[in-house]
Structure 1
Amino acid sequence: MIRFEGVSRRFAGADRPAVDGIDLAIAEGSTCVLIGPSGCGKSTTLRMVNRLVEPDNGRVLLDGRDVAGVDPVQLRRGIGYVLQGIGLFPHRNVADNVATVPRLLGWKRARTADRVDEMLALVGLDPKDYRDRRPDELSGGQRQRVGVARALAADPAILLMDEPFGAVDPVARDRLQVEIGAILRRLKKTVIIVTHDIDEAMRMGDRVVLMREGRIVQADTPDRVLAAPADGFVESFVGEDRALRRLALTRAGAIAVPGDPGDAPGITGDTSLKDALALLLSSGAEHLAVTGGDGPAVLTLTAIRDTASRES
């Protein structure tokens, strides 16, 4: 668990604290997304976990241990870190980039090589095709995948991601958010993500923390943030189309009912209701065939509308 207890930080010359007395607990194995306008303190908060920034007051605890008492170098070697700029070493090939921390930890060559291949495969890059390439031979999305592989190479329990997909084109970004999010949940890592993208926050977070002027305004599940904004600031920040954003959080298989779909267009149970609605509208169909469950199932436009309008 990661815990912030009364944590504050003011930078020299600033008229107010960058982080102002926050209290926050992040459960082990969960993904917490920090979001808010520029200058709200989200990146400063993240960087206090690995001591790139030191708090003026309060404590940051990892499994009950104050990070202030841990050697910064050793601390950082045990925490994965992914940046917006990716930060790959341009003079090193992909394998050498991914192997950075295992080598610093003194892993044997064979173990390191096996781990490099395992991590590349995990993020969807065939080791045979990508191991010997240099960063300038990769697309933005591929470089970001390598950055994630490098951050996970030494199997850290904690992963920090600061605007991880901000430099990637929108199409690749959406795909990366889904794929990397699924990987992190499967590995049960404790993750903090900083983003300004509300859709990214809702898609990747188990818990979303909205910040404003160094303080936490609301910390809750994505669905609760969308369904019950804490105040006018949160309501404005998540947008007027928050009902559609809620549809992106629900899978078709969760509300489909058993039935004979006939020749209706087909989707998988993992399809979001937002994507299902788009298909219904574009195809002119009244219902969809949902596959991947225990048997034939049907998703209707009425069910999607009911889900979008329900306040919980």
Structure 2
Amino acid sequence: MIRFENAGKTYPGQARPVVDGLDLAVPEGTTCVLIGPSGCGKSTTLRMVNRLVTPSEGRVRVGGADVADLDPIALRRRTGYVLQGIGLFPHRSVAQNVATVPELLGWPRRRIAERVDAMLDLVGLDAGRFRDRRPDSLSGGQRQRVGVARALAADPPVLLMDEPFGAVDPLERGRLQGEIGAILRRLGKTVLLVTHDIDEALRLGDRIALMREGRLVQVDAPERLLARPADAFAEAFVGSDRWLKRLALIPAAAAREPVAAEGAPRLPEGASLRDALGLLLAADAERVALAGEGTVTLASLRAAAVDAAGGFTCAP
């Protein structure tokens, strides 16, 4: 559990707080995404958790303990941290990068080696191929996977992610988001993630905390944020196409028809209604095949979307 209790941060010489009276709880095992315009206080809020930023007022608790009462070095060693620049040590191999925190914690060498291989496998990198490579020989997506493996290596209960996919090629970003999101849900980590990308927030967040000028505007599940924005700012931020964004939250299987799929374009496992619509239009097809049995048509997709849209309100 991460809890902000009237937490605020004002820097000397500034007219207003960067973060102002923040009250927010991130339940254990969930992912909360902080989102909002540049300068709204997202990253400052995240850095209060591991004491890279000290609150000017209020407190931040992790697992019930006030972080101000904890040794900052020990706190950071048991808090995973993934950032946009990734921050891998260029002179150290992939294995040495992943082993950083376990080495600082004094783990036995054999345990570290086993953990490194397990973490590389977890993030989809073959240990035999990647263990001894240097970061400059990796693609952006591969470096980000190593960064996540390093953050998880000591099995921290809390993971902080600051614009983790911002430096990744757009063509790889969606796939990487999906894979890392599935890993975090499987591990049951408590995650606080910062992004400016509403689609990324909707894809990864169990709850989304929308901020403006250091204050919370709305904290809600992704579906409810899209269905009922709290005010005009929230509505503008999620976008006029929020009904289409909502299709990305509904699995394509919701529109399943028990019809043979011979010759139909195939959707990947875990595809959404938006993925199905995109493939139908791109392939100019009458139906697309699901990863399991059955197909999706425009008619079945429309019916599933309408059925799932109970209570969804949209400006005319």
2:111 aligned partner, one-letter code: R
TM normalised by structure 2 equals 0.93
Q: Could you tell me how far 1:45 is from its partner in structure 2?
A: 0.6
2:296 to 290, 294, 299: 299
Q: CA deviation at 1:57?
A: 1.2
The 5-angstrom pairing of residues 125-274 of structure 1 reads 125-261=125-261, 264-268=264-268, 270-274=270-274
Displacement of 1:65 in angstroms is: 1.3
Amino acid at match of 1:300: T
What letter is aligned with 2:141?
Answer: G
Contact 2:78 / 2:156 at 8 angstroms: preserved in 1?
A: yes
**Structure 2 Cα separation of the partners of residues 146 and 133 of structure 1:** 11
Query: Which amino acid in 2 is paired with 1:214?
Result: G
Q: Does the C-alpha gap of structure 1 residues 136 and 286 become closer, same or farther in structure 2, counting only changes over 3 Å?
A: same
Distance 2:275 2:283 in 1: 12
- In the aligned structure 2, how far is the partner of 1:258 from the partner of 1:124? 33
1:28 maps to what in 2? Answer: 28
Deviation at 1:11, TM superposition (A): 1.1
CA–CA separation in structure 2 for the residues paired with 1:307 and 1:171 = 28
CA distance in 2, matches of 1:58, 1:281: 52
What is the Cα deviation at residue 23 of structure 1? 0.7
Identity %: 66
d(CA) in 2 for partners of 1:153 and 1:4?
Answer: 26
Shift of 1:287: 3.1
In structure 2, the partner of 1:286 is 286
One-letter amino acid of the structure 2 residue matched with residue 281 of structure 1: L
Partner of 2:4: 4
Whole-angstrom distance in 1 between the partners of 2:167 and 2:261? 42
Q: CA RMSD in A?
A: 1.6
Give the 5 Å matches for 1:31-42.
31-42=31-42
Q: Structure 1's 177 and 291: CA in aligned 2 closer, same or farther, altered over 3 A?
A: closer
CA contact (8 A) 1:43 1:162 kept: yes
Corresponding position: 1:82 with 2:82: yes
> Tell me, what secondary structure is at the counterpart of 2:144?
helix
Task: Report the Cα distance in structure 2 between the residues aligned to 1:262 and 1:108, rounded to whole angstroms.
Answer: 54
Q: Aligned partners of 1:122 and 1:159: how far apart in 2?
A: 16
Question: What code does the residue aligned with 2:77 have?
Answer: R
Normalised to the residue count of structure 1, the TM-score between the two structures is: 0.94
Q: Deviations over 1:244-301 (max 9, x none)?
A: 1111111112342444556543335521111100111123333333342xxx434231
Structure 1 pair 179/269, CA: closer, same or farther in 2 (3 Å)?
closer
The within-5 A match list for 1:30-109 is 30-109=30-109
Q: Distance in 1 between matches of 2:39 and 2:45?
A: 11
Structure 2 residue runs of 5 or longer lacking an equivalent are none
Which residue is equivalent to 2:122?
122
Amino acid at match of 2:128: K
Letter in 1 for 2:242: R
